[in-house]
């Protein structure tokens, strides 16, 4: 610092900045100025390293970079205690220790919740969530006035884009009819995709579903519905992906909702989920068949008799074909390879399975 100080003492700012009719004196002054700037930069760089490069706006999941904070998100709006018990207890007992975020109709303020009424009046619900390290947010304080079933996509996008989830896998899942049998992320292997969609078991096409087909037709017309009539149904109740993929997915969904061609399109996220998939609006999607994935959609299982259905495996299954009754009264639902299906969606369509799950997790 002494050398730098001597330069500062020897050079007058006035002399450096003034013009001179003597070239040698001007060159000398300029040289001194250059030395002054270079000397300062060298000293400063020793004590203040250059700032890191700016972070990219694209979120990427990298298993090699360390253990990510995976996260399960769900809309838990207006449900009683026993629904929370099944979802939360089955998830935590599955061995999953990652983050859980629920969007509810109550807050952490008991006085406010009491004024609003509803299931939030039951103090056991927030106590259960706190005990099992579940984060919850009041859906009523968020930015849109849309019905919560559609509003959840805004909430998912907002929270999936947080920096702490930049390397996470994210599962968006329904709440009321979901139970967990294993960690949903434990055996996930990405093969270039950043979104994983889950097919229904039966009926396999949009046309056979009728409901999904009509939802698409009434919003985008006969031509659009006909073009995808033979496409396999994918369920909007469960979607997994990288954080970047989930942000892309949810923002694509919300943009479609905001620009829908008719007010009749204001509900049924299933219509958007399938229409946007089969019109190529989602990027890097991998569709997974029921019984071959971490999520098993059970909505249509066993609804038709094996003879009248006219189908054979793997396009048709009865619950008795895939469920194992364990000692003690519990039940395990298996994938086609014999492994336990980590997530059961729509389990309540099978009464005896619903009873077994409630008996295992519900307490008064």
pLDDT reported for residue 321: 81
Contacts of 364 (CB under 8 A, 6+ apart): none
Residue-level pLDDT at 3: 34
Residue in this structure with the two tokens 């980590």, named with its chain if needed: 342
- Would you say 272 and 257 are in contact if contact means Cβ atoms under 8 Å apart? yes
* pLDDT value, residue 120: 52
CB 173 within 8 A of CB 72: yes
Is the pLDDT assigned to residue 311 strictly greater than 70? no
pLDDT tens digits, residue range 122-178? 889 999 999 999 999 987 655 556 666 778 999 999 999 999 999 999 999 999 999
**Alpha-carbon distance values, 140 to 104, 176, 191 (Å):** 8, 19, 38
pLDDT of residue 210: 80
Model confidence at 300, in pLDDT bands (50, 70, 90)? confident
pLDDT at 164: 94
pLDDT band at 315 (very low <50, low <70, confident <90, very high): low
Q: Round to whole Å and give the CA distance between 74 and 176.
A: 10
Average pLDDT over residues 197-219: 88
Identify the pLDDT of residue 24: 44
Highest-scoring range by mean pLDDT, 57-71, 111-125, 138-152, 238-252: 238-252
Bridge-based pairing of strands 99-104 and 71-76 is parallel
CB 242 within 8 A of CB 60: yes
Name, in order, each residue with C-beta under 8 angstroms of 211's C-beta and a sequence gap of 6 or more: 270
CB 87 within 8 Å of CB 348:
no
Provide the token pair at 86: 């099944």
Least confident of 71-80, 136-145, 150-159, 223-232: 136-145
Whose tokens are 């099992």? That residue is 132
Asked whether the CA dihedral 282, 288, 293, 296 is positive or negative, the reply is positive
CA 107 – CA 140 distance, rounded (Å): 9
CA angle 72, 76, 79 (to 5 degrees): 145
The whole-model pTM stands at 0.77
Residue 233 is given by DSSP the state P
Those residues whose C-beta lies under 8 Å from the C-beta of residue 183, and which sit 6 or more positions away, are: 94, 95, 96, 342
Interacting residues of 108 by C-beta distance below 8 A, sequence separation 6+: 126, 136
Cα(200)–Cα(277) distance, integer angstroms: 15
Instruction: Please say if the pLDDT value at position 364 is more than 90.
Output: no
Q: Name the nearest CA neighbour of 261 among 273, 251, 272.
A: 272
Calpha distance 182→178 (Å, rounded):
12
25-55 pLDDT, tens digit each: 434 444 444 344 344 333 333 333 333 333 3
pLDDT at position 222 over 70: yes
Q: Side-chain half-sphere of 31: how many Cα atoms within 13 Å?
A: 6
Output the pLDDT for position 140.
Answer: 67
Rg (CA), the chain: 29
DSSP E strands, 182-337:
195-199, 234-242, 285-288, 295-297, 323-325, 331-333
| pLDDT at 255 (0 to 100) | 94
Asked if residues 317 and 297 have their Cβ atoms less than 8 Å apart, the reply is: no
Cα–Cα dist 235/219, whole Å: 18
321 vs 30, 56, 163, 260, CA distance in Å?
A: 88, 48, 43, 41
**pLDDT score, position 41:** 38
Q: Which of 28-32, 77-81, 114-118, 190-194 has the highest mean pLDDT?
A: 190-194
Most confident of 123-127, 143-147, 209-213, 293-297: 293-297
SS3 207: helix
């Amino acid at each position: 610092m002494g050398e730098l100080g001597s330069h500062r003492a020897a050079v007058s700012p006035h002399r450096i900045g003034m013009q001179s009719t003597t070239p040698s004196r001007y060159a000398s002054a300029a040289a001194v100025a250059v030395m002054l700037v270079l000397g300062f930069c060298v000293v400063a760089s020793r004590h203040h390293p250059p700032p890191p490069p700016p972070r990219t706006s694209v979120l990427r999941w990298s298993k090699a970079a360390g253990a990510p904070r995976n996260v399960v998100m769900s809309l838990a709006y207006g449900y009683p205690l026993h629904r929370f018990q099944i979802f939360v207890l089955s998830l935590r007992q599955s061995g999953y220790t990652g983050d859980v975020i629920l969007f509810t109709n109550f807050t952490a303020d008991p006085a406010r919740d009491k004024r609003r009424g509803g299931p939030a009046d039951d103090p056991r619900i927030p106590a259960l969530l706190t005990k099992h390290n579940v984060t919850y947010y009041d859906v009523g304080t968020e930015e849109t006035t849309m019905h919560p079933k559609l509003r959840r996509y805004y909430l998912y996008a907002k929270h999936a884009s947080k920096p702490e989830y930049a390397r996470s896998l994210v599962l968006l899942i329904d709440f009321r009819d979901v139970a967990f049998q294993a960690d949903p992320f434990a055996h996930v292997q990405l093969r270039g995709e950043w979104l994983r969609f889950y097919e229904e078991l039966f009926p396999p096409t949009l046309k056979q579903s009728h409901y999904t087909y009509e939802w698409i037709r009434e919003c985008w017309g006969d031509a659009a519905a006909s073009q995808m009539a033979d496409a396999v149904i994918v369920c909007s109740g469960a979607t997994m992906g990288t954080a970047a993929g989930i942000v892309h997915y949810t923002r694509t969904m919300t943009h479609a909702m905001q620009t829908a061609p008719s007010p009749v399109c204001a509900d049924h996220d299933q219509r958007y989920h399938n229409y946007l998939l089969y019109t190529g609006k989602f990027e890097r999607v991998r569709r997974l068949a029921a019984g071959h994935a971490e999520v098993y959609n059970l909505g249509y299982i066993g609804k038709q008799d094996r003879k009248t259905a006219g189908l054979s495996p793997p396009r048709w299954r009865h619950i008795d074909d895939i469920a194992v009754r364990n000692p003690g009264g519990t039940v395990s639902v298996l994938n086609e390879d014999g492994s336990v299906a980590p997530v059961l969606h729509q389990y309540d369509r099978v009464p005896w399975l619903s009873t077994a799950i409630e008996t295992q997790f519900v307490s008064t």
